[in-house]
């Protein structure tokens, strides 16, 4: 399934319109990550952590800093700035002006039997334009599915749920009260009036996932937030923008993920643990309940504590 | 008040249908815990922690392991297995096929004045079949009470609340946004397609309990999840399946309970503390905010820390 | 904008009606904090922490203890008691009998176009009596705004939100699922039947604030709960009664605030941190994710850990 943006692209824009001080005459079609950008796209590169992606980007233009520009391919035009994320935010605001605020979907209607003949709905369900729901799926009462969301077959969506900007696979369970696809917690701090970072990404929930009650999953900023196949998530878990969780993971209640971390396959995380942002957690990792993970964890490790260390070290220090 | 199962029992089943390799010819009426099982019931015994209950069980048949079978009464027929919980889950799925997924209640309707003459309802309230609500109770707008739930008199149920599979006593307050009676976080991990554990139990909230906003309380798996009289629970608390909380407890915001723990009377728990699964916390225990409790606590102790230790030990180590 | 109480004052009461054992003949108009009380008001003084406010109070009468009475002005009549908060609770219950329970607002109706010509509403929105909403504001589907709430202009209120007893400024964003203005977690513990503390205060959210999904913010007890200008709050944050948060703060996901703490300006708090009650956190403080703050923090400090200490000390002990 092709995954498109949920927000309308107001581009193309001339590079001179985006950056008045540049002399390059070039049309920008879209804004994407280093990895996903193609010809005529603008991208951004703000941390040496992404050097390998920078070297291989196919973007025509990249916003970056004096220090990082050397890693970019020679045929990539460079826009030098001091604050990469602020410049990116301003460009995104031009391309996708409505993506920095969660305006409620005003196209919602009661689902029509003719459009969804094989879906069972509770009472007062509200469905936006162009929503697709597969056969034998259930949607509970007072739930809202906003425009363009895709839900697979054999899914059970509970009551009082909200889903927007999301692709949901087959046989997915989303229990009561979950809020999925919200704008993430991203902004450029400015005293008195922060600049809200546009969030044009989406949430991608794969087959056989189960998400328990009252979880929140924010959509990606440029990228996606992704939950891998057969991963089960307990009540009141918070998953921030751009987080990628692998397959067959088990995540207990009240766990929190800060933005942009990547979690491997077969990872189990105990209740109330917290995972900081921009980390890489390997496959088959076990994280004890209540732990605070602040650095990358290689495959097959068992960690615990605050900050989390290997279980051996944790027990030694007790 | 007699408390029945919220799910329909498809039994009886012949033991040979449940376990094709057995030679015992016997009809099983129901599946219950060691403590609650009676003649013609099947039960299970999977941990030496429950030895005392095993010795006294009145079940006719018990699923257990080679190692544990010796504790069971002589007249109890034994089904030997390797993975007790997996075999139990498969049997429960036969008896209660719809209890492993929270299918939304499709019998909901607006409450009729004639049926609930002494109850005050907000707007858009939805009530399932056979729901009972006592006199002088309030139910706020957009709340949902699913089939067969019993709510006592003088209760105040807030708005945007969901209650299912639950018995609620008198003078109980449940504030806005709570989700009560959901399926718990239980499954047999199988790569690619976990086996969902049926949850046929209920939630039992006793008189004078107060539950603040946006809490989640999961129903018991076979057993009940219970909140004792006059216990007060603050916002965003997560209570997993089979947890039993005593009377007169005070539980501050964002506390989390993993499954099957038992908490005594007059226990106070500070904000964001976590209680691991299958623990026994005594009476009059005080647990400091942010603590992580990972072992049983005797009566009258004050504990703190991660993992939680006595307050004396905690301060000594600082 | 003048901020009035959301609850109806049943006063005045004669002092002898409130405290039958007193011999003072005096009419009490209202009950207020030491700071806000004026002539003919009753106030209370229960901790030496508020000595400076006690010395300057303009209240005509004050409930206090033998030990504390010396700090009160000479012209302030004194009611000596053993348990200040219990006596206060009983008095408040007389003045504001409905404020100790969140009775759902039964005056809710669909918003009329004539009353809100410049506001965009989703489906099934419910609005109470005397609600004011400024122009160009949005309210998402299934949201509830109870009586007398004031919402400014250019606000975006998400879906499935509940707001009561609150003043919301301009350009405020409140994302989906938030519950704002609930009764706080306050009561006098009495075995079998706690005495519920009346909560007559409100929530005051200033301009440009952003509150992400599924947060809970309780109203003040006598006072207000306040979120300062341009403060941004992530998903699933819990803010208890009487908390005051300054301007330009950044509060990450799942942070919890116990009651009555004051947070300065430009404070940033990492995910899952907890702030105990009755603390004073200075300006420009940074609190690491997962920390447990249990004492006051002066301006400009960086703290981390459980209990939170300066970052230097935290790293030294690792």
Of A29-33, B313-317, C236-240, which range is least confident? B313-317
Round to whole Å and give the CA distance between B227 and B245: 5
Q: Does B142 touch chain A (CB under 8 A)?
A: yes
Q: Which chains does B contact via 3+ CB–CB distances below 8 A?
A: A, C
Question: Is the domain of A198 the same as that of A71?
Answer: no
Q: Do B235 and C216 touch (CB under 8 A)?
A: yes
Q: Does B262 touch chain C (CB under 8 A)?
A: no
Task: Give domain status of residue A46, yes or no.
Answer: yes
pLDDT in tens, B124-137: 999 999 999 999 99
Task: Give domain status of residue B8, yes or no.
Answer: no
Round to whole Å and give the CA distance between C66 and C57: 18
Question: Is the domain of B160 the same as that of B91?
Answer: no
Task: Give domain status of residue A238, yes or no.
Answer: yes
Q: Which one of B95, B111, B146 terminates a domain?
A: B95
Q: What pLDDT is stored for residue B316 in this prediction?
A: 84
Q: DSSP string of B163-199?
A: E-SEEE-SS-EE-TT-EEEE--S-EE--TTS-EEPP-
pLDDT in tens, A256-282: 999 999 999 999 999 999 999 999 999
Q: What pLDDT is stored for residue A20 in this prediction?
A: 93
Task: Give domain status of residue C4, yes or no.
Answer: no
| Averaged confidence pLDDT in chain A | 96
What is the sign, positive or negative, of the torsion defined by CA atoms of B117, B122, B123, B125? negative
Task: Give domain status of residue C107, yes or no.
Answer: no
The predicted model gives A150-168 an average pLDDT of: 98
pTM above 0.90, yes or no: yes
Token duo for residue A235: 């009540």
Q: What pLDDT is stored for residue A2 in this prediction?
A: 61
Task: Give domain status of residue C104, yes or no.
Answer: no
What 3-state DSSP class applies to C193?
coil
What 3-state DSSP class applies to C90?
helix
Q: What pLDDT is stored for residue C316 in this prediction?
A: 85
By residue count, chain B amounts to 318
Share of chain B above pLDDT 70, in %: 98
Task: Give the structural domain span for A274.
Answer: 119-317
Q: Do A252 and B272 touch (CB under 8 A)?
A: no
What 3-state DSSP class applies to B244?
strand
The predicted model gives C26-48 an average pLDDT of: 96
pLDDT in tens, C175-195: 999 999 999 999 999 999 999
Task: Give domain status of residue A160, yes or no.
Answer: yes
Catalytic residue flag (residue A241): yes
Question: Is the domain of A155 the same as that of A263?
Answer: yes
Looking at residue B42, which CATH number applies to its domain? 3.40.1390.10
Report the phi/psi class of residue B7: left, alpha or beta, with left for phi > 0 and alpha for psi in -120 to 50: beta
Question: Is the domain of A49 the same as that of A135?
Answer: no
> At residue B1, does pLDDT exceed 80?
no
Question: Is the domain of B146 the same as that of B262?
Answer: yes
Question: Is the domain of B268 the same as that of B136?
Answer: yes
Question: Is the domain of C192 the same as that of C302?
Answer: yes
> At residue A239, does pLDDT exceed 70?
yes
Q: Do A230 and B179 touch (CB under 8 A)?
A: no
Round to whole Å and give the CA distance between C18 and C77: 14
Q: Which of A281, A294, A174 is nearest to A237 (CA)?
A: A174
Q: Do B139 and C254 touch (CB under 8 A)?
A: no
pLDDT in tens, C255-314: 999 999 999 999 999 999 999 999 999 999 999 999 999 999 999 999 999 999 999 999
Q: Does B160 touch chain C (CB under 8 A)?
A: yes
Q: Please name the residue that has the structure tokens 């007389």.
A: C94
Looking at residue C207, which CATH number applies to its domain? 2.160.10.10
| Averaged confidence pLDDT in chain B | 96
Phi, then psi, of A75 in degrees rounded to 5:
-85, 10
What is the sign, positive or negative, of the torsion defined by CA atoms of B67, B68, B73, B79? negative
Task: Give domain status of residue B109, yes or no.
Answer: no
Radius of gyration of chain A (CA): 21
Spatial neighbors of A108 by CB under 8 A, at least 6 apart, are A126, A127, A128, A144, A146, C122, C123, C141
> Of all residues in chain C, what percent are helix, strand and coil, respectively (each to 5)?
10, 30, 60
Question: Is the domain of C50 the same as that of C158?
Answer: no
Contact C200, C242 (CB under 8 A): no
What 3-state DSSP class applies to B58?
coil
Q: How confident is the model at residue A3 (pLDDT cuts 50, 70, 90)?
A: low
Question: Is the domain of B132 the same as that of B91?
Answer: no
Share of chain A above pLDDT 70, in %: 98
Q: DSSP string of B96-146?
A: STTTTS-PPPTT-BPPPTTT-TT-EE-TT-EE-TT-EE-TT-EE-TT-EE-
**SS3 of A258-278:** CCCCEECCCCEECCCCEECCC
Question: Is the domain of A33 the same as that of A131?
Answer: no
Q: What pLDDT is stored for residue C1 in this prediction?
A: 56
What 3-state DSSP class applies to B59?
coil
Nearest residue in A to B176, CA atom: A177
Q: Does C175 touch chain A (CB under 8 A)?
A: yes
Beta-bridge mates of residue A133: A151
Q: Which one of A95, A111, A146 terminates a domain?
A: A95
pLDDT in tens, C95-152: 999 999 999 999 999 999 999 999 999 999 999 999 999 999 999 999 999 999 999 9
Question: Is the domain of A27 the same as that of A124?
Answer: no
Question: Is the domain of C172 the same as that of C34?
Answer: no
Round to whole Å and give the CA distance between B118 and B92: 39
Token duo for residue C102: 């969140």
Beta-bridge mates of residue A109: A127
Q: What pLDDT is stored for residue A317 in this prediction?
A: 77
Domain total of chain B:
2
ipTM of the complex: 0.96
**SS3 of B156-172:** EECCCCEECCEEECCCC
Cα distances (Å, whole numbers) of residue C39 to B278, C7, C35, C74:
57, 21, 12, 14
Of A183, A194, A238, the CB nearest to C230: A194
Q: How confident is the model at residue A318 (pLDDT cuts 50, 70, 90)?
A: low
Q: Which of B310, B317, B313 is nearest to B293 (CA)?
A: B310
């Amino acid at each position: 399934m092709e995954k498109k943006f949920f927000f309308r692209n107001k581009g193309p824009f001339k590079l001179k319109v985006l950056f008045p001080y540049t002399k390059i005459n070039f049309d920008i079609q879209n804004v994407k990550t280093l990895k996903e950008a193609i010809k005529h796209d603008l991208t951004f590169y703000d941390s040496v952590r992404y050097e390998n992606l920078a070297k291989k980007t196919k973007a025509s233009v990249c916003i970056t800093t004096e220090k990082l520009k050397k890693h970019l391919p020679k045929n990539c035009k460079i826009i030098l700035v001091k604050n990469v994320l602020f410049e990116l935010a301003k460009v995104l605001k031009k391309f996708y002006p409505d993506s920095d605020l969660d305006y409620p979907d005003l196209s919602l209607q009661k689902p029509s039997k003719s459009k969804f003949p094989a879906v069972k709905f509770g009472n007062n369900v509200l469905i936006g334009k162009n929503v697709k729901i597969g056969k034998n799926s259930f949607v509970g009462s007072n739930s809202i599915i906003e425009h363009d969301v895709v839900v697979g077959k054999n899914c059970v969506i509970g009551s009082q749920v909200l889903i927007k900007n999301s692709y949901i696979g087959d046989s997915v369970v989303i229990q009561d009260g979950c809020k999925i696809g919200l704008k993430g917690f991203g902004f450029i701090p400015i005293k008195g009036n922060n600049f809200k970072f546009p969030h044009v990404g989406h949430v991608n929930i794969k087959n056989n996932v189960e998400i328990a009650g009252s979880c929140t999953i924010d959509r990606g900023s440029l990228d996606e937030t992704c939950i891998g196949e057969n991963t089960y998530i307990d009540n009141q878990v918070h998953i921030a923008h751009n987080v990628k969780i692998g397959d067959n993971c088990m995540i207990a209640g009240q766990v929190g993920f800060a933005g942009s971390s990547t979690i491997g396959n077969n990872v189990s995380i105990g209740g109330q643990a917290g995972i900081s942002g921009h980390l890489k957690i390997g496959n088959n990792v076990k994280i004890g309940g209540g732990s605070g993970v602040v650095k990358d964890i290689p495959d097959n490790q068992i960690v615990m504590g605050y900050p989390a260390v290997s279980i051996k070290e944790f027990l030694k220090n007790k």
